[in-house]
Structures are given as C-alpha cells and as structure tokens.
Amino acid sequence: MMIQCRLKAGRAIGCLMLTVCCGEFTRGADWAPIHKTLISVEENIRVRDWRYQTTTPDGHTISVVKSVLHGGKQEGVDIVTVDNGRLTVVVIPTRGMSILGVTMGEVRLGWDSPVREVVHPSLINLHDRGGLGWLDGFNEWLVRCGLEFAGHPGTDTFRDNTGVPSEQDLTLHGKIGNIPASEVTFRIDRFPPYRMHIMGRVNERSFYGAALQLDTELSITPGSKTLSLDDKISNRGAAAQEYEIIYHANFGPPLLENGASMVAAVRRVQPMNNEAVKSLPNFSRFTGPTAGRKEHVFLIQPLSDPKGDTTVLLQNADKTLGCSMHYSLEALPFLTLWTNFASRRSGYVVGIEPGTNYPFNRRVERGAGRLQQLGAGESKHFKLSYTLHDDPAEIEKISSAIKDLGEGFKPEIVHHPPVME
C-alpha cells in the first residue's frame, strides 16, 4: 500500500512513500481502542514501520502511521503521521516531538524553509555559526525552544544550582528541538469522542547540568479541526532550576500572504529590533515576500479573557483561511511575533510564539525578571490548542470575539526596542 503525505503546496518535504508490511487494520464492528508503544528506552523498543487504521463507532476513519525518513541529512529520522479523518498531523520524535506540519484540505500549517530535509540531530552542531547551528534544521511548523534556555546565543553569567558563579555559551533556541524522544506512545480513547493521543517524553538531562523533562501529549478528536497540546515540564533534579519555553509556530502560504493579518487582543507591544520600528504602526498586518527584507520582531503582552486565556488568529488576506490558537496567559504570558517577509527562497514566514519569556539571551530575560524557575520535583503544564479554519463565517466569529476582548482597551505601544546593557 502506498501512502503519500504531502505537506507542502509546492513540493514534498519528507514526502512519504510507504509500503506497509506490518499494518494493523480494524473495522467498525471490531473496533477496539489501541495503545501502542512506538519508541521506548524503558522497553528497548523502536518500531520502524507500522500502520494502524480504524473506523470509530461514530463513523470516522482514522489512522496513524509510523515511518522512517531516508536520504541526505534525514536518514533514520522517525516520524509519526496522524490522520483524524480531517487533519493530517506529522510529528517528529527524533526532533524533540516537533510538529513538521498540519494539513486540512487547502489549509496548511507550515512553511517553506530553505532547509528542505528533516535533519537528524546527530548532524546538527548547535555551536556552529557562533551558536546559530539550530538554524541548520529549522523548518518545522511548530518547534519548542528550550528548556534550559530558549533565546539568543551568547554568554550567560549566572549562579548554578549549587550557588557557584558559572558561565555558559548558550546556543540559539536551546536543545530540546534536537533531542530524540525517549518514549513515544499512541492511543485512542475507548469511549466517545474516541480521542487520539500521541504522547512523547524528551529528556534534557546531563550530569552537573539540566535535569528537565518534557512530557507532551498531542491529541485530536476524530473529525475535529482542532489539535491540542498538553505539555508538562518537570524538574527531575535535586534543586530549583531555571527554564524557558517558547512555542515557535511558523506559517507560510497560504495563510501568510500580502494582506494576511494577525488578530490579537494586545495589552502592550514593542519592537524587539530596530528593523521592526519601521513596521510597528502596522505590525499585525503582513506584506508579501520582499527580497532583502530583514526580520522584524515584536514583543507582545496579550490581554486575557476572564478565564485567563487568550486567543490569537492568523487569517489570510480575504479571511477565508486561518488558524487560531488558544492558550493560558498564566503559563505563557509573553508573545513574540517574528515576521520574516524575505523572498520565498530565503524563507517567507511569520512566527507566532507564545512563551514563558521573550527570546533574548537568558541573561537578559533573567535581568528583566521574566525567567521562571521550577523547584526540585516540580512540574508545570502548558496547554495550547490550534484550530484550522476554512470557513469565513467561523473566522469572522473568532475575529470578532478577539476584538470584543480588546474593546475599549488602549494598548501600550512602545516605540523603541528595549535598551540592552
């Protein structure tokens, strides 16, 4: 059987032509929930190729495919493709459970990076290019930055867990996106709505160093247009630890185009870099690809709804396609908007990035009071949901609700980047 998962409009990345030789199939009458270990250090398991398809009692034909990528820098990379009958989601266990892309008909979450392969972490040197080596593998729709550090490269001077003054050369956006997951399982709930779950554990642990553990659960309901992330970061060490996480979600066409826009209820906005000062007046309205255009980055504090959550919408120019994200501001108070409207060949992309902090070097975040800690043995949850939209009425409704939330509030607009020491 051949399966083709096409994640890109123009070309196939990680395009998957899979001959299934060991699939499992169940049909309506025989329907039973499944709980499958795909990767496990504890059980010494790595499933290479596996396919499962079923029809739920309420009539949704859903599937999950475990496969391995081949060729170039992606040789040996594990991927898991989940289809809930409406959305196709591609998860990369080998790259810290990043999400390569999501598609629903014409709607696509993802972008066209100059990096065209799903690069195996063994071929990434995070210290390359003065700490920018992370960019050699950067092409996912959603990649987590973190956990020990999540921002810009450079030296951080700090007191380590035992109180000793220490110095560390941080690398861009941290390590978690380049650590292979240790435990990956897939399961379907026994009872309606028969929700599908991919669970992954990624260990960012060393000796005399980080002792952080990410447990992520991505889930979707069959037939739904929404995917949910329930992440837990745990301090498995013996002392309090700093941590950072930024959900770096990246969008290219068709959601991004000239006239596309972000709708958010904004409490405060400030340019992160000097380039961004120019486009501050229209920071949430996006332009087409422009040769030589530099990145413009904005630092945003969103307003929260009565439950403490916020919603951010990305919509195309004529408001027919979109993606809305909904998450808790208590956990992720700072939103970075990264616009990189260079020519398509250089990467035409907008990043909408909720985080525990902004992506300055950890040294800066600590100084600004934005750096979080976890006590020994403590955990913290991060819940986000992303909904794909192809219905103008639905987009209009969400847009209105966001505008209602900001109604009457005058955002604080800071006209210059933060002053760095």
Site for a second copy in 79-118 (CB under 8 A): 113-117
For 223, other C-beta atoms within 10 Å of its C-beta total 17
Tokens of 300: 């945003």
Question: Where in 13-42 is the site for a second copy (CB under 8 A)?
Answer: 14-18, 39-42
Q: Is 73 in the site for a second copy (CB under 8 A)?
A: yes
Please pick, from the candidates 34, 132, 277, 317, the single residue that binds a second copy as defined by CB under 8 A.
Answer: 132
Between strands 154-159 and 183-188, the pairing is unpaired
Cβ–Cβ under 8 Å, residues 60 and 223: yes
C-alpha span between 110 and 255 (Å, rounded): 9
Closest CA to 264 of 222, 210, 215, 300: 300
- Nearer CB in complex with a second copy: 39/300: 39
Please pick, from the candidates 167, 307, 410, 419, the single residue that binds a second copy as defined by CB under 8 A.
Answer: 167
C-alpha span between 218 and 383 (Å, rounded): 10
* # of chain residues touching a second copy (CB under 8 A): 75
Q: Is 206 in the site for a second copy (CB under 8 A)?
A: yes
Q: Is 151 in the site for a second copy (CB under 8 A)?
A: no
Binding mask 42-71 for a second copy (x = CB under 8 A): xxxxx--------------------x-xxx
Please pick, from the candidates 34, 123, 303, 317, the single residue that binds a second copy as defined by CB under 8 A.
Answer: 123
Question: Where in 322-341 is the site for a second copy (CB under 8 A)?
Answer: none
CB of residue 320 to a second copy, shortest distance in Å: 28
C-alpha span between 370 and 215 (Å, rounded): 23
Q: Is 10 in the site for a second copy (CB under 8 A)?
A: no
Please pick, from the candidates 6, 36, 127, 383, the single residue that binds a second copy as defined by CB under 8 A.
Answer: 127
- Nearer CB in complex with a second copy: 73/225: 73
Cβ–Cβ under 8 Å, residues 386 and 180: no
Cβ–Cβ under 8 Å, residues 383 and 176: no
- Nearer CB in complex with a second copy: 232/344: 344
- Nearer CB in complex with a second copy: 127/366: 127
C-alpha span between 189 and 209 (Å, rounded): 38
Cβ–Cβ under 8 Å, residues 200 and 183: yes
Q: In which residue are the tokens 């080596």 written?
A: 133
CB of residue 417 to a second copy, shortest distance in Å: 16
CB of residue 309 to a second copy, shortest distance in Å: 32
- Nearer CB in complex with a second copy: 134/286: 134
Question: Where in 218-277 is the site for a second copy (CB under 8 A)?
Answer: 236-239
CB of residue 242 to a second copy, shortest distance in Å: 15
Please pick, from the candidates 9, 22, 368, 376, the single residue that binds a second copy as defined by CB under 8 A.
Answer: 376
Written as one string, the DSSP assignment of 404-416 is HHHTT---EE--S
CB of residue 1 to a second copy, shortest distance in Å: 14
For 162, other C-beta atoms within 10 Å of its C-beta total 9
Q: Is 157 in the site for a second copy (CB under 8 A)?
A: no
Q: Is 9 in the site for a second copy (CB under 8 A)?
A: no
Kindly report the backbone phi and psi dihedral angles of residue 214, in degrees, each rounded to the nearest multiple of 5, phi listed first: -105, 125
Q: Which residues contact 82 (CB under 8 A, 6 or more apart)?
A: 62, 63, 64, 88, 89, 90, 91, 186, 196, 198, 218, 220
CB of residue 236 to a second copy, shortest distance in Å: 7
Question: Where in 270-309 is the site for a second copy (CB under 8 A)?
Answer: 291-292, 294
CB of residue 28 to a second copy, shortest distance in Å: 31
C-alpha span between 215 and 207 (Å, rounded): 20
Question: Where in 170-189 is the site for a second copy (CB under 8 A)?
Answer: 179-183
- Nearer CB in complex with a second copy: 13/371: 13
What Cα–Cα distance (Å) separates residue 121 from each residue in 75, 327, 396? 11, 29, 41
For 381, other C-beta atoms within 10 Å of its C-beta total 11
